[in-house]
Chains A and B, each alone.
Chain A
C-alpha cells in the first residue's frame, strides 16, 4: 500500500529558509499535500501540488516535486518563530478522501 516518509526533526535559525523533505511510494497519487499542525490544534492545509507540476509557489512556500524519484519538498522562505510546528506530507491513497500521512517533521525555529 501507499507509504509516505519524512525526516522527523528540523532546526533552523529565524530568517533562514527551511526545507522539509518527503518521499512517497504510490506513483498513482495525483495530488500531494502539505499540512501544518500547531500544538493542541488540528491540521491546517498549507498547499498542495498536482503531479504534473514540478513546482508550485505560494507566498513564502515553495513546493518541489520530483515525480521520477517520488520526492516532494516544502521550502519555507524567511522562516519565523510562528512557523514552529509539525509539518505533514500526505498523499491521496485511492478511494474517497483517504489521505496517507507521513510521520510529520517537527520544525523548530530559534533566534
Chain B
C-alpha cells in the first residue's frame, strides 16, 4: 500500500504570494491532518478533515485554510505569505481520526521557503 504523498516537496515563494499544498492519504484513510514544523515552534497542529469537513482546528490565523475532496485528498492554502510561514508542512492520514490504534501516518512534507 502506498504511503502518504505530498506535492510539491519543495516550494519557494515571496512575501504576499499565496501557496497551495497537496496531500494524498493512504488508500482507505478518510482523515487527513496538517501540521507545521518550524525550528522555533516545533510541530503544531493546523487542522483536520474527514469526509470533506473540517472537524478540528489549531491556533493559526485565517490565512491558513484547507479543504478535502471526495476522494479524501486534501489541500491546504496559505494566503498573503509572511517570512514566518517558512516551514516544513506535514500531512498525516488515518482511517477515522479517532484516538488509539487509529494511528496517524505522515508524509515526507513540503518544505516552503518564503523570501
Contact B90–A97 (Cβ < 8 Å): no
- Report if A104-B105 is in contact (Cβ < 8 Å); known contacts: A97-B94, A98-B48: no
Please tell me if the beta carbons of A88 and B50 are within 8 angstroms of each other in the complex. no
Q: Please, which residues of chain B bring their CB within 8 A of the CB of A42?
A: 4, 90, 106-109
**For B35, B42, B97, B100, which residue has the most chain A Cβ atoms within 10 angstroms?**
B42
- 5 extra interchain contacts, Cβ-Cβ under 8 A, other than A42-B109, A45-B105, A101-B43? A95-B56, A96-B56, A96-B97, A98-B58, A103-B42
From DSSP, what is the main secondary structure of chain B's interface residues? strand
How many residues does chain A have at the interface if contact means C-beta atoms less than 8 Å apart?
24
Chain B residues in contact with chain A, CB under 8 A?
4, 31, 33, 35, 42-43, 45, 48, 50, 55-56, 58, 90, 92, 94, 97-101, 103-109
Contact between chains at A31 and B90 (CB < 8 Å): no
Q: Which residues of B contact A44 (CB under 8 A)?
A: 106
CA distance A102 to B100 in the complex (A): 18
Q: From A42, A45, A93, A103, name the one whose CB has the most chain B CB atoms within 10 angstroms.
A: A42
8 Å CB contact of B45 from A33, A100, A102:
A100
